[in-house]
Structure 1
Amino acid sequence: MRYVSHLACTVCGATYPPDRVMNLCERDGRPVQVVLDLDRLRADHGPDRFWNPERRDLWRFGGLLPLDVTDPDDRRHVVTLGEGATPSLTYEHPLADRIGCRLEVKDEGKPHAGFGANPTLSFKDRGMAMTVSMARALGLKRLAVPTQGNAGDALARYAIAADLEAVVVMSPDTDRPVLGNVAALAALHPDRVRLELVPGTIVDCAARVRDHYVPQGYFSVATFQEPGWRTEGKKTLGLEMAEPQGDRLADRRWQVPDVIVYPTGGGTGVVGMAKGFDELEALGLIGPKRPRFVCVQSSVTTPLVRAFDRGDEDITPEPAGQTIATGLNVAKNVGHINVLRIIRETGGCAIAVDDDRIKQVIRQEWDDRWFAWSPEGAATLAVLEELADRRIVGQGDRVVLVNTASAEKYLPTIRDCFNGGL
């Protein structure tokens, strides 16, 4: 934890020691985050010599992360399975041609030659790699997570690699490939992974973790409940979008996209990417310009969309619906207040899409371009035309859509899209 200064509440600003093992802020019950000593980082490395583009994982960002792999003391705690360093692929699409924008897909599920690869084929590996590494650094042995699926898959895999215990609490309605992965890991490593199925959504699973496992000594690493660790892992999505590449590599020029379209359940990635961009500006690597953040939700579960449209500071929870985009089925989260602030500050929006449109995109894009979208990822492409109508996306913009996981993790759902599921 070489460059960690302290922890701070993301809402009231209360501060805590950097090695404090805690969940939410003790003053207002809001998420806390890791605060880095950026002045010291710059003094030691200059503007960006912390960055090692030769590494093919998220740890390429060195001291801009809570654990710096270039530091021997930090490095011994790091658990890595090759996560991160995924490509932003140019995506040729007629709609992008009509709008006049440059469309990219940040592909988190499928391995690509010359890049890193998320071992469980999901962006959740970023947050869990950091979370498990930080848990090791601070002496934690038992972790628990409520999950819609992919976060549990990731925690199980990394806990085994780190020789920690993990409890994964998920709904029996979880996508079968994901549930099967975790069940198999629990069967193969019963001393390391425990799977419990709780009917309902992630909200019900979270209550089970809080009421049953935390009193037994498990540390909850639910979304925003740990002290910013998952956020630090997810911020590498944005750092990778901004890092020098192509014609910007020779002069090491960092540059953020104009628009990031992000499928949003809890919203850890939005908060993490925004934090990463603030840190890049503090280091003098980018200016004050920020991408317009667009949070895409399922039309059956729209806490952010409702709050954004009404101008509310925070969400008002309502019961979740049912959607094929299970990662979007988050009816409430303590960190939504920060997600709303970010999309407003950046001139973005929250927008909803229904399952029929998601299915249509999955089928059409495979037929036309042989690109396999996850349901959550497909939701980002499904709203592109509406974003152009709202003038969130326009001519000349670099627009990044985040395809959060491999289609393989949703195979029964994907198959339905081609067999009368429309």
Structure 2
Amino acid sequence: MSHVRCLRGIASGVEYPSDVPMNLDPVDGRPVEMVLDIERLAAEQPDAQWYDPDRRDMWRFGALMALDAGDPADALNIVSLGEGGTPLLDYSRHPVARDAGIRLSVKDEGRAHAGFGANPTQSFKDRGMAMVVAHARRLGLKRLAVPTQGNAGDSLTRYALAAGLSVVVAMPDDTPTPILGNVAAAAFRHPGQVILELIGPTIREAAALLKQKYVAQGWFSVATFQEPGWRIEGKKSLGLELAEPARGETRWLLPDAVIYPTGGGTGVLGMWKAWSELEALGLIDSRRPRMICVQSATMEPLVRAFDSGASDTTPLPGAGTLAVGLNVPGGVGHFRVLEIIRASAGAAVAVAEADIAAELTRLWRDTRWWIGPEGAACLAAMPQLLDRGLIRRGEHVVAVNTGSAEKYLPALRHLLD
């Protein structure tokens, strides 16, 4: 059964029932999160009995998730399409890692790998949207609305259709063609059930349109951080996977640093929450990876806030970026992302567009992996991270690739030739 105890304002600390649909905290307009009863979970399922390592998707963490796929009542609401369970690819031969003596791994959320789970839309967004749709079904919500830079809309459309829900997706009209095409095709095949709105230049304008035109008419917003902690719970599985024992082992262990491409930042909160819960269960100690949030130099609100010592970001205009998922001018959860970066002794860093493009080309020639531009941005940041002492000799460093380069064609094709 679900061990969710309540919802709680991330900043205010005010608690709310978990079975009432809500968006932002009415006290301060900031996000809410789901609070699990960890003590009850530990008492009812001691020695991590909730963990099923033989299952290949994100639901193998059982009752540590906000819905337990092993419980018949919870399972009725879950539509699983294989999300999560993605591999850690060894990339210690990366030039910077090799020369510095760093054990580098790439968490590949894009293309499928034999013997592992696979995100059905080739994006880490599937983790969050699988949980969003499951909780929407649990609460009887039928119409969902999402503003997106692309992948979140593609993912929500796939899960909503599988669950029999309706969805409206608002995205910029320069969204990469494969992503836009997936949503447009779904809208064509399922008129009325899938609605596509094109507006830009960023997710900010898309959110304003949905609020005015659809949320006011009863559609439930599942924008980043504006659903009640559901996406955080789905993305939490990424942090659990980074900590879980390797096959044949029993020890839960975290890397020394995580390099993460950061737009809205839901994944940062999800991973941090996962590790706090694992510590409460006695599976890890209080040590945490340094959280290194990577942005494009053309859109760097977190970097500017971090460097200036600000407690929150100021929305920025931007020139756009090859790493479309990073084209986020500001975020309602950025204050918490900054807190986590600082608590972990990490940093927010910016990478030049030319460096992202060059890393994509180098990476493709070296590996033939379908790493997306956001993942390439993480690897392109490594020289400055080494220079600043944010990654160090002998450490295990994980760079997260959040999606497949295939979803950004034809814009990337010239870099992969």
**TM-score higher than 0.5 here?**
yes
Secondary structure of the residue aligned to 1:286 is: coil
What is the match of residue 21 of structure 1? 21
Task: Measure the CA separation in 2 of the matches of 1:69 and 1:329.
Answer: 34
| Number of the residue aligned with 2:7 | 7
**Residues 47 and 284, structure 1, Cα contact 8 Å, conserved in 2:** no
Counterpart of 2:241?
240
Check the 8 A contact 2:111/2:370 in 1, yes or no: no
Secondary structure in structure 2 of the residue aligned to 1:140? coil
Deviation, 1:188, is 1.2
CA deviations 1:65-86 (Å, max 9, x no partner) are: 1110111111111111000000
Report if the CA contact (8 A) 1:50-1:64 is conserved: yes
Contact 1:201 1:320 in 2 (8 A): no
| Structure 1 residue 199, shift from structure 2 partner | 2.7
Question: What value does the CA root-mean-square deviation take over the aligned residues?
Answer: 1.0
Q: Could you say which residue in structure 1 is the equivalent of 2:361?
A: 363
| 1:128–1:155 Cα contact (<8 Å) kept | yes
1:300-338 Cα distance to aligned partner (Å, 9 max, x none) = 111100000011111111213211111001011100000
Superposed displacement of residue 192, structure 1:
2.0
SS in 2 for 1:30: coil
Letter in 2 for 1:86: T
**Alignment match of 2:297 (pick from 287, 296, 299):** 299
Superposed CA deviations along residues 173-216 of structure 1, whole A, max 9, x for unmatched, are 10011000111111112242111111321000000111111011
Which residue number in structure 2 is paired with residue 100 of structure 1? 101
The 5 A counterparts of 1:251-270 are 252-270=250-268
Give yes or no for contact 2:172–2:206 (8 Å, CA) kept in 1: yes
Letter in structure 1 aligned against 2:341: I
Shift of residue 373 of structure 1?
1.7
Counterpart contact for 2:110–2:370, Cα < 8 Å: no
SS at match of 1:6: strand
Do the aligned partners of 1:6 and 1:17 also contact (CA within 8 Å) in 2? Answer: yes
Segments of structure 2 that go 5 or more residues without pairing to the other structure are: none
State the distance in 2 between where 1:257 and 1:192 align: 43
The correspondence of residues 269-284 of structure 1 with structure 2, limited to 5 A, is 269-284=267-282
Deviation at 1:255, TM superposition (A): 0.5
Q: CA deviation at 1:262?
A: 0.4
Instruction: Give deviations 1:363-392, integer Å, cap 9, x for gaps.
Output: 111112222321111000000111011101
Q: Quick check: 188-197 or 270-279, which moved more?
A: 188-197
The answer to whether the Cα contact below 8 Å between 1:297 and 1:328 also exists between their aligned partners in 2 is yes
- Asked if the contact 1:159–1:192 (Cα under 8 Å) also holds between the matched residues in 2, the reply is no
CA distance in 2, matches of 1:309, 1:149: 29
Amino acid at match of 1:53: P
Counterparts in 2 of 1:31 and 1:100: CA distance versus 1, 3 Å: same
Specify the SS of the correspondent of 1:295.
Answer: strand
The 8 Å contact of residues 156 and 182 in structure 1, kept in 2 or not, is answered as: yes
Aligned to 2:165: 164
Q: Take 1:232 and 1:206, find their aligned partners in 2: how far apart are those partners?
A: 22
Is 2:364–2:416's contact at 8 Å kept on the other side of the alignment? no
**Counterpart amino acid of residue 22 in structure 1:** M
Q: Which amino acid aligns with 2:5?
A: S
CA distance in structure 2 between the partners assigned to 1:47 and 1:224 by the alignment: 32
User: 2:122 corresponds to which letter in structure 1?
Assistant: L
**Post-superposition offset of 1:34:** 0.3
Q: Is residue 324–residue 375 contact of structure 1 (8 Å, CA) maintained in 2?
A: yes
Partner of 1:378: 376
Which region of structure 1 is more displaced relative to structure 2, 190-199 or 98-107? Answer: 190-199
User: For the Cα contact (< 8 Å) 2:125–2:155, is it kept in 1?
Assistant: yes
The Cα of 1:49 is off from its aligned counterpart by: 1.3
Matched residue of 1:412: which SS? coil
The offset of 1:11, in angstroms, is 0.7
- Residues 204 and 329, structure 2, Cα contact 8 Å, conserved in 1: yes
Give CA-to-partner distance per residue, 1:113-151, whole Å, 9 cap, x none.
110000001000000000000000011000000000000
- The 2-side partners of 1:396 and 1:326 are apart by 33
SS in 1 for 2:312: coil
Question: Conserved in 2, the CA contact under 8 Å of 1:47 and 1:285?
Answer: no
Structure 2 CA distance, aligned partners of 1:201 and 1:6? 33
Distance 1:185 1:54 in 2: 33
Name the residue aligned to 1:89.
89
For structure 1, which segment, 256-265 or 360-369, has the greater mean C-alpha deviation from structure 2 after superposition? 360-369
2:200 pairs with 1:199: yes
Corresponding letter in the other structure for 1:60: R
Q: Deviations over 1:32-54 (max 9, x none)?
A: 00000000111111141111011
Paired with 1:199 and 1:302, the residues of 2 have a C-alpha distance of 18
Q: In 1, Cα distance between the equivalents of 2:369 and 2:133?
A: 32
Q: How many Å separate the matches in 1 of 2:416 and 2:274?
A: 39
2:320 is aligned to 322
Q: In the alignment, what sits opposite 1:114?
A: 115
Q: Which runs of 5+ in 1 are unaligned?
A: none
C-alpha contact 2:291 2:341 (8 A) present in aligned 1:
yes
User: For the Cα contact (< 8 Å) 1:31–1:334, is it kept in 2?
Assistant: yes
C-alpha separation between the residues in 2 aligned to 1:331 and 1:256? 31
SS at match of 2:412: helix
Matched, 1:210 2:211: yes
Aligned to 2:185: 184
Residue aligning to 1:334: 332
Q: Does 1:174 align with 2:172?
A: no
User: C-alpha displacement at 1:351, in angstroms?
Assistant: 0.2
- 1:2 deviates by 2.1
- The structural deviation recorded for 1:418 is 4.6
Amino acid at match of 2:42: R
Alpha-carbon distance in 2 for matches of 1:336, 1:397: 28
What secondary structure does 1:276 align onto?
helix
Moved more, 392-401 or 409-418: 409-418
Mapped partners of 1:371, 1:67: distance in 2:
33
TM-score, normalised relative to structure 1:
0.97
